[in-house]
Structure 1
């Protein structure tokens, strides 16, 4: 499991937009749904009866929940066990929620594993795909098909059943046509794609063109490492960020580089015969690794590549020692904005990833979902999870300036969404907001923006004279804004999607860590010149023997049975 970073899109993308919260609460949204009938604690009404999506249980029901919550921040006087979300569940829905445990993302897997092993799981919890499948295999989850159809509000269904990302996520949460979880959906698959961030003030200083090809990226990286772009007469810069977790990182990731060679180390691809093959063993990976090995040998990459963390690559960017990195849509917020604050001359721009040949480069799109909210088999009120989802989307999208979503603290605004057990978003909402803002900045006409987006416009329109406008502009501004790059991918059908959308197979569950550790170890040695490039061929054979061939068989069996 990787709960520590699983919700980065929520915690950064959405929280940034919470500053402009009224932008998420458009006048076109339906008003708050009000109770049409009194909802009893019994879930046994017939499907023909009208129900209130926010109907209150009377008497109240009890629920035991579990979740992870990274870096919690509470309003003054509130805490994990005493806060406004628990009060809202109780006063609005009649749900008395108590926590079995709430941990950080890093600690959550172990806590959950212990609970599962002892057959003492919470009534409602958040799980990743592997745990989701394991619980299903052991008949430990409640079927939510009927309660979702019956109780989900219009706003919930518009998010999960009427958007392409939502539909894909719901399919991933279903087995044989039955729904077993409410998927967490926070962004479109395009918003999770890799892009290239370049320190363009260094480009200008060295009189270099913007990157159009992989060869350009290599030349720029070499110049950044060898031509003293910071002007201190010391060889203390390097060209391209590479974290030790370069196969799976948010910053210092190399997936975008591999995508330039039409390969991807993390997903299944369809071959010329219509069969699924894993991207990590495709020939393009070997070609890309050879280029990286050459770059390392020339001193373009950090000599500490094998131990560099994402955080250390952040530090290199912040401290002006790094000129380029593959990153994600929120990279302008962290770490790049910190470099902007530290250096009045610095500027970074986002670019689409580039290709090594005349075939367009396609970045890997994100998974429609990473987490699922599930209900323990036998829990008496499974529909309660749907009502909790309804309450969340109601306040996030339909209630202006809801104090359940954000509130003032000191001189700033803090997000409160992390206190909720169930967090469900319309995956299309942030992209629409971003494009509305981008268009206004392009035309210098904010007249069509509502109050929240007008505030964002006012922040960004002062760029480049106002350095405080950098972050907003570089996310939502011109073609170099990260959201515009993601939108470019989406509109031009340039997303490489995982051809396998099924559950983790038995071999994935048992062998995936072994295979990932193997590829990280071998690829790191190849890049650093500690292994010959032909070691890639030995890696392919090892990968196949250590479970890769069996995984390939399993995913193709699923694909043959489920392809449309």
Structure 2
């Protein structure tokens, strides 16, 4: 039976690889791109007890994703670098790479690796692959090795959410993967050119009506001095990608609509957000803005960076984005060491009197799995133990893991060389950082991440304009300063489905998403009536949506 399941999985994946065109394949979290310490960090008192015993060194293999944000120190490479040397020296684990793929090809290469049953000792996979590898008996049950080798600090670190993320990697009581965890309480916001608001004597946006009014004023009065100015920046694929800039997920949230999550149906069950009537209202709002010329008519052929050029070049004055979006905006905001654009960050405007609720997941969508053929699974757990230590409370010498052998911050994202990274599931950055920066009180900083962000923000305060972006993230009126109110009042909408993709999801979700985007786009670009949404809902149900809803509710009944 096990051999049969493995053969079926390999055959299926080979066909899948042959049929699937290479996508952009970016497996790095968007929030990680903003800075070397952007993965959430925490302080902890426990120490790593898994050092080298008797001088023994064990070897574990993995696969690596090259990244345009990563720059090696001189003379180093994926084969030989200070991070790999440090792991071998400090905990006796030698890291080798079975292969290295460009960021645009990584996901496809992982598919091929799984399909050919040629796994390294450990690798990062998505939720569907975790389930398939479990069913094919290709990966190891980690229950015992995790219990034996994970430090108490690691176990506490990975259960800050009550164990929910670990639960998503557990099948029939067996832990089959380590969640590549991150803080799910990361929200989207509205960024606005506040210098334009002042120039045109406009109020700060609080409602969706305000957003439209501001857009109209930006277009009509052209404060950027361009031949054409638009109100809101949008790029192609704005609904089905979790982009940190130029997406429209937050626009939907402003109408109390949500992109492909499962929410309460009011009767004890779950429904998919894509087919709810609030979405129709949001699409009507977008269609109205498009008809008024408040959105670039060529947005549908522009990727994120191309669409953002209008932001950098004074052609657009508003954009929805994540907390790290200022790291993108700085390209236009600071020129020749001078701040030439003023941006403010605001909560998502609401269509009515109820606060908008930004949508969030549960903080995990990928998992580290260990091949059943791995000779030293304990080595993988030791890598995780060490990462948690050095990312949260490193000694000065351990900064080699994130800065390189010279221990100097160079903006090279050297930390991406660490092959197994897990982030903190909760943080208090929104409470601590704005206060520390405003009062210049370092004593209240608690984590390495907070200390790094504080240092960068204070450089801006002291005149270093290159750190403008960090101040807009972490400063007194920065993006993170908005989080405590959202968090404390639970003004967010969390996906209630956290199981592995259901059988019909695996078979039909891609078709449903493609159909959804096609209809959404046509409505938004005024090619069809907004009433086409009603037809889409019926088609969605017939194309597999009803069956998926049934499967999700069966899972929900068993996991409440």
TM-score above 0.5: yes
Specify every segment of 5 or more residues in structure 1 that has no aligned partner in the other structure, as ranges. 19-23, 34-51
Which residue number in structure 1 is paired with residue 10 of structure 2?
none
| CA deviations over 1:59-86 (Å, ceiling 9, x no partner) | 5333221132322321111101111232
Q: Distance in 1 between matches of 2:140 and 2:486?
A: 38
Q: Secondary structure at the match of 1:379?
A: coil
Q: Distance in 2 between matches of 1:420 and 1:56?
A: 22
2:421 counterpart of 1:427: no
1:196/1:314 Cα in 2 relative to 1: closer, same or farther (>3 Å)?
Answer: same
The Cα shift of 1:433 comes to: 4.5
1:97/1:262 Cα in 2 relative to 1: closer, same or farther (>3 Å)?
Answer: same
Q: Secondary structure at the match of 2:516?
A: helix
Q: Secondary structure at the match of 1:524?
A: helix
Q: Distance in 2 between matches of 1:118 and 1:17?
A: 32
Write out aligned runs for 1:61-460 (5 A): 61-71=58-68, 72-161=70-159, 163-164=160-161, 167-186=163-182, 188-191=183-186, 193-230=187-224, 232=225, 234-247=226-239, 248=241, 249-334=243-328, 336-342=329-335, 344-401=339-396, 402-407=399-404, 408=406, 412-428=410-426, 431-433=427-429, 435-449=431-445, 455-456=455-456, 458-460=458-460
Q: Distance in 2 between matches of 1:31 and 1:427?
A: 17
Residues 89, 388 of structure 1: 8 Å contact kept: yes
Q: Distance in 1 between matches of 2:55 and 2:148?
A: 19
The Cα shift of 1:419 comes to: 1.2
Write out aligned runs for 1:388-537 (5 A): 388-401=383-396, 402-407=399-404, 408=406, 412-428=410-426, 431-433=427-429, 435-449=431-445, 455-456=455-456, 458-462=458-462, 467-468=465-466, 470-478=468-476, 480-537=477-534
The Cα shift of 1:302 comes to: 0.7
Length-normalised TM-score, structure 2: 0.88
The Cα shift of 1:446 comes to: 4.0
Residues 459, 472 of structure 1: 8 Å contact kept: no
| Pairs aligned (count) | 526
Q: Secondary structure at the match of 1:189?
A: coil
When the two chains are superposed, the root-mean-square deviation of aligned CA atoms in Å is: 2.5
The Cα shift of 1:250 comes to: 2.2
Specify every segment of 5 or more residues in structure 2 that has no aligned partner in the other structure, as ranges. 1-22
The Cα shift of 1:252 comes to: 1.4
Give the stretch that moved more between structures: 387-396 or 321-330: 387-396
The Cα shift of 1:424 comes to: 2.0
Which residue number in structure 2 is paired with residue 40 of structure 1?
none
Residues 39, 423 of structure 2: 8 Å contact kept: no
The Cα shift of 1:308 comes to: 2.0
Q: Distance in 2 between matches of 1:460 and 1:171?
A: 42
Residues 190, 365 of structure 1: 8 Å contact kept: yes
Residues 268, 499 of structure 1: 8 Å contact kept: yes
The Cα shift of 1:425 comes to: 2.6
1:539/1:160 Cα in 2 relative to 1: closer, same or farther (>3 Å)?
Answer: same
Residues 42, 424 of structure 2: 8 Å contact kept: no
| CA deviations over 1:363-414 (Å, ceiling 9, x no partner) | 0014411221110124232222111101112222232332111135998343
Q: Secondary structure at the match of 1:207?
A: coil
The Cα shift of 1:326 comes to: 0.9
The Cα shift of 1:286 comes to: 0.5
1:444/1:63 Cα in 2 relative to 1: closer, same or farther (>3 Å)?
Answer: closer
The Cα shift of 1:550 comes to: 1.3
Residues 363, 494 of structure 1: 8 Å contact kept: yes
Residues 243, 310 of structure 1: 8 Å contact kept: yes
Q: Distance in 1 between matches of 2:409 and 2:281?
A: 52
Length-normalised TM-score, structure 1: 0.87
Which residue number in structure 2 is paired with residue 44 of structure 1?
none
1:69/1:485 Cα in 2 relative to 1: closer, same or farther (>3 Å)?
Answer: farther
1:448/1:544 Cα in 2 relative to 1: closer, same or farther (>3 Å)?
Answer: closer
The Cα shift of 1:304 comes to: 0.5
The Cα shift of 1:175 comes to: 2.0
